[in-house]
Structure 1
Amino acid sequence: MKHPISRFPVPELGKLPDDIRQKILEVQEKAGFVPNVFLTLAHRPDEFRAFFAYHDALLLRESGLSKGDKEMIIVATSGANHCLYCVVAHGALLRIYEKKPLIADQVAVNYRKADITPRQKAMLDFAMKVCLDSAAVGESDFAALREHGFSDEDAWDIAGITGLFGLSNRMANVASIRPNDEFYLMGRAPRAGG
């Protein structure tokens, strides 16, 4: 049985604007498949461009956060927002970046019990407060981050990633974006020959 990847229309790749088609083909070349979120968001080209511009600005910039840290924020907050797509897709990336096959499941369910460092727990404490009660974020939250070597710019990154994926989580839930089957196994076992 073939399950739909979205409750909204999914455009044909050949009918998309050139820049969006090119971005999707680049992702396909790198990953070996097209993540369903790309096809779903391509339904609205201007919003696709805006979302991925902010996504890339946050996730690809040099900062005090590693690629694994950024994915850990996404997985923990997406778990809190009950977003299956983002937990599964970004859980795969988290497992790969951290080279830990158990970490994504632990972080998605309860990061406080996960096999992560005190620094990562402080980072996720801040991210979860931004996710669940951003109005209560205060100076003591920034001070707690500083105790673990995070700068105020890192705090901005943590908040920005949490905020962007708050949007992503809600849209993925509303659109019923189905995680690609490929994501479920990625990073769970060592790669052949690697």
Structure 2
Amino acid sequence: MANRRKNPRKVEKETDWQERVVQIRRVSKVVKGGKKLSFRAIVVVGNERGQVGVGVGKAADVIGAVRKGVADGKKHLIDVPITKSNSIPHPTFGEGGAARVMIRPAAPGTGVIAGGSVRTVLELAGVRNVLAKQLGSSNPLNNARAALEALAALRTFQEVAEEREIPIENLYSK
């Protein structure tokens, strides 16, 4: 019989992921016999090394909703460029629904200055020094998605230089 053990690298990769539940909400659907209750879980998944995702899961029980949220979060991962000072390369802005999020790099030692689900997204992305502000809606799902959009818009100096087809040294010179 063939060896059915899992690949040790894959097992190691699975244990690298951290997940944090941002919100669990009891929702209901009106059906013929009354109200059918279920749970919606908003989960942020990240490896604290530049990958993060936000997922939503809905199920009849909380554990099932969280499990589905984690799976959804892993499907929607983004890569975040992190500088040597554990910050982001440049200020950025993101929108999710009516929520708007502004994220700015900060000096080493500042920490993560952000609130709510934006803080969770930034921490699980591995960003250590950053300033963020939620503008507009206070909905945790929309704010998490706005933060994800803002982080997805980040570009490194190398990417900008390649896009403009110029040497990276020319970006710094005036």
| TM-score normalized by the length of structure 2 | 0.26
Answer with 1 or 2: which has the greater Rg. Answer: 2
Relative to its length, the structure with more strand (as a share) is 2
**Structure with more relative contact order (C-alpha pairs < 8 Å, separation 6 or more):** 1
| TM-score normalized by the length of structure 1 | 0.24
Relative to its length, the structure with more helix (as a share) is 1
